Structure 1
Amino acid sequence: MYELLGFGSSLEYRRKNGKKRRPRVDDPSMRVTDTAFDGVRVLVYQPQGQEQDMDRAGLVFIHGGGWVMLSADVYDHVTWHIAKATGAVVVSVDYRLAPEYKFPLPFKDCLDATKYFLHHAREYGVDPTRVGVAGDSTGVNLAAAVALKLAQETSNNACPLKLQALVYPALQALDFQTTSHRTRETPWLDTLSHASSCSLYLTGNISWAKRFVSNTHISDCLKTSRFSDYVDRHLVDPSLPKMTPTDDAIIDLPEEIKDIVNPYFSPLMAEDSQLTGFPNTCILVCEFDVLRDDGIMFARRLEQVGVRVRLEHFQKGFHGVLNLIRKPLEFQVGKEMMKSLVSFLNENL
């Protein structure tokens, strides 16, 4: 209605309603600093009373929002809670948003901020060997891409991050007809909305969204290539026939969407040899979420190459529930998911 009445685009409306920051918890034991890491705006959460401790853990958190909306400010209650519950210094990255800044710029922001934190960790009382990365939804896409890039930049393919914690991940734009995409749409997220976000992040417009939804954006050659094997539905449901790639040729994609097989855009497109460099990983998925299968497939692929993985499936969960952990929108399953996330961080960071 907002768009039809001429007030602006639907994205503008969503941004206005997703921009409001909830009042920050008044807690003198937490110092929150609004600053910049290598030109990228970040919010730094530092639990107080441990200033002299130079061996604290650190966590880079990357928010979701389809790459096109929300912010570090909107996630304030999430990152504050993580810092409070773990005692870690949490850096929440406020990366630039699509479509104004399309791929790879948001990814570059997250990478630059993470590198800066790793190089300046001691200034925040953080042991640089105890730094992890986390995120939710499309924030996971960026977090996993950062972990992959950092691993690729080391001589032994070992990621300098200690762990990654991934909440209902968005990890690929190859197959929008997975079981969860076809059967698990909710008012919080449907396949067309996600496809539109992918198109905006990749191309700066939504022209490819409907073709993404119907899988008509991929050729027969691509459907039988090794890339389709990376999103094999057999990984989610072993009763389904296993994909057997028949064509390993270079894939000819339209220039505008050629990056759908770029692992920094779609981490599930990473080769097995690249995945071996990933750190200890926690993946939390929700039953009522079109992205459920992305998370499960990623967990299975990481397990196959020897990465330690904790996969937790929240049967009553739905996309976005991690944000709903305090009144007036408070869900028990959101609290359970946050508890599981904090537990993993405390045990492994």
Structure 2
Amino acid sequence: MLILGLALLGSFFVGVFIWAVFQHFLTADIPSTLQQPIKFRFLHCMFLYMLTLAEIIEKLGICSVLRFLKLLQVCVRIKKDDRLTVTDLYFGTIPVRLFQPKAVSSGPRRGIIFFPGGGGFMGSLDLFHNLSSLLALETDSVLLLVGYRKLPDHHYPSIYQDCLNASIHFLKALKSYGVDPSRVVFCGDSIGGGYVACITQALVGRSDLPQIRAQVLVYPVTQVINLQLPSHWQNGNVPFLSQKFMMTCMFKYMVIDFHWWDAILGGAFIPPEVWRKYQKWLSADNIPRRFRKPGYRPLFPSPFNEAAYLENKHLLDIENAPLLRDDETIAQLPAAFVVSCEHDILRDDALLYMKRLEDQGVPVTWYHVEDGFHGSLLFFDKKFFSFPCSLKITNAVISYIKSIY
């Protein structure tokens, strides 16, 4: 019986993997210019394999998809480095991890506050530990990694609140951590990059806190309003952030009924007067022509649906759309380093925000990765499973932060 049970279990897992491979070749769009496509395909098949297992477990009533995927992070291996002092702390109820170089410094060090990505459900302290260690060592900086509250237990606006509160707490105690108040950098990727923009904006004009010196936004989420931008059309089925997966995470975090899927996707929840006001910042017309492929002619927004607006108007909140912040605030923001990836559904979010900053005179350094894809940053130390674009982004971020004196 034991052998039979093991055989059936093994057959089940093999069957699930075959289904994941089938799904990959049926739905995934692998760009022809992407380097190392076989490795990329394999990793995406493994991702779909885990996702399929999660869906089966959810249907069996064991736990939700997001909770299962979140639990997988306990398997992450962190690398200890004797050159760093790493301390787990709590700022109130917010878990944070502090990285401090042990080497003697001639004076206060640069400070980095890092908001991790992860779609609002991943992004654990352990998942971003190795990246944080590298940034702290290579830039000789004190780095604070923020472990904000996530799905499935916490929803909007928990991430914004935790990032803001942790930042204020750290900024008020910089000297005790050996940080130079004139050299503090906000850094983050994906949803974390979006909250870099939000928190930097929220702290503008705070005379009781040190001014932020620079903001580093790696393929950030800067709006969840226009989901028909060219990059959504071109990269909607590119791993590891397909349109379906992105919207599922968004709906879960923002507590949106899936009944409104088409209305949100088509922009039917946007009142005409709101679109007229913000079209100048949200329109695809702001995307450089070379990023708009032939045949791109979306009908956006769809006819207005008042019920969709009343239930989902929080999508228009500044905390979810830093792109919509007023000109006066934008003009006071610190210099920015913006990373975009060609094969990323969020590519145009980065481009729109970059233009928004430049139009108000904010110095922007743009780094576009032609062979980059969403999530590539985290593969920087995965050896065989690393990609050239992963190292490009990591090195570019390090170089930019080191340039801040």
TM-score by length of 1: 0.89
Shift of 1:253: 7.0
**Do structure 1's residue 192 and structure 2's residue 247 form an aligned pair?**
no
User: What CA distance in whole angstroms lies between the structure 2 residues aligned with 1:19 and 1:210?
Assistant: 35
SS at match of 1:229: helix
Please name the residue that 1:134 is paired with. 187
1:81 matched residue in structure 2: 134
- Correspondence 1:112 to 2:165: yes
In the alignment, the residues of structure 2 paired with residue 33 and residue 297 of structure 1 have an alpha-carbon distance, to the nearest angstrom, of 37
Task: Give the aligned partner of residue 331 of structure 1.
Answer: 387
**What residue is the counterpart of 1:245 in the other structure?**
none
Which of 156, 161, 186 is the matching residue for 2:212?
Answer: 161
Given that 2:201 and 2:330 are in contact with CA atoms closer than 8 Å, whether structure 1 keeps it comes out as yes
The alignment's C-alpha RMSD in Å is 2.4
- Contact persistence 1:227–1:261 (CA under 8 A): no
SS at match of 1:151: coil
Instruction: Report Cα offsets for 1:25-78 as digits up to 9, x if no partner.
Output: x3211111011124311010101122x644210000000011122312111111
What is the match of residue 335 of structure 2?
Answer: 280
Correspondence 1:297 to 2:352:
yes
Contact 2:182 2:210 in 1 (8 A): no
Aligned residues: 335
CA deviation profile, 1:183-218 (whole Å, cap 9, x unmatched): 113120011221222222222665544432333333
CA separation of 1:53 and 1:212: change in aligned 2, threshold 3 A: farther
Q: Deviations over 1:121-144 (max 9, x none)?
A: 111111112111000000011111
Q: What is aligned with 1:20? A: 75
Stretch of structure 1 that moved more, 316-325 or 206-215: 206-215
Q: 8 Å contact 1:45–1:89 — kept in the other structure? A: yes
Q: Does 1:215 align with 2:270?
A: no
Take 2:123 and 2:179, find their aligned partners in 1: how far apart are those partners?
28
Any idea what the Cα deviations from partners look like across 1:302-321, whole Å, max 9, x if unmatched? 00000000111100000011
Judged with a 3 Å threshold, the aligned counterparts in structure 2 of structure 1 residues 207 and 64 are, in CA distance, closer, same or farther, namely farther
Structure 1 residues 179 and 19: alpha-carbon distance in aligned structure 2, compared to 1, 3 A threshold: farther
Equivalent residues of 1:54, 1:122 under 8 A apart: no
Q: Partners in 2 of 1:125 and 1:347 — Cα distance? A: 19
Structure 2 residue 376 is matched with structure 1 residue 321: yes
Deviation of 1:219 (Å) = 3.9
Q: CA–CA distance in 2 between the matches of 1:53 and 1:257?
A: 52
CA, structure 1 residues 61+180, in 2 after alignment: closer, same or farther (shift >3 Å)? same
Separation (CA, whole Å) in 1 of partners of 2:346 and 2:149: 23
Distance change (3 Å), C-alpha of 1:75 and 1:133: same
Aligned match for 1:49, one of 96, 103, 121: 103
Residue deviations 1:276-312, cap 9 Å, x none? Answer: 1211100000000000000011001100000000111
How far did 1:99 drift? Answer: 4.4
1-side partners of 2:212 and 2:68: how far apart?
Answer: 37
Q: Provide the secondary structure at the position in 1 that maps to 2:99.
A: strand
Contact 1:165/1:282 (8 A) holds in 2: yes
Output the amino acid matched with 1:237. P
Partner of 2:399: 343
Unaligned runs of 5+ in 1: 241-250
Cα distance between partner residues in 2 of 1:68 and 1:193: 12
- Report what 1:247 is aligned to: none
**C-alpha distance in 1 between matches for 2:133 and 2:263:** 39
Aligned to 1:177: 228
Q: Which moved more, 1:159-168 or 1:58-67?
A: 159-168
The answer to which structure has the higher helix fraction is 2
User: Which is worse superposed, 286-295 or 202-211?
Assistant: 202-211
- Does residue 60 of the first structure (1) align with residue 110 of the second (2)? no
Structure 2 unaligned residues grouped into runs of 5+: 1-51, 293-305
In the TM superposition, residue 85 of structure 1 has moved relative to its aligned partner by: 0.6
CA distance in 1, matches of 2:279, 2:320: 15
2:239, 2:374 within 8 Å by CA — same for their partners in 1?
no
C-alpha distance in 2 between matches for 1:200 and 1:274: 30
Pick aligned residue for 2:314 from 246, 259, 263: 259
* 1:91 matches 2:144: yes
Q: 1:108 to 1:207 in 2, by over 3 A?
A: farther
8 Å CA contact 1:159, 1:277 repeated in 2: no
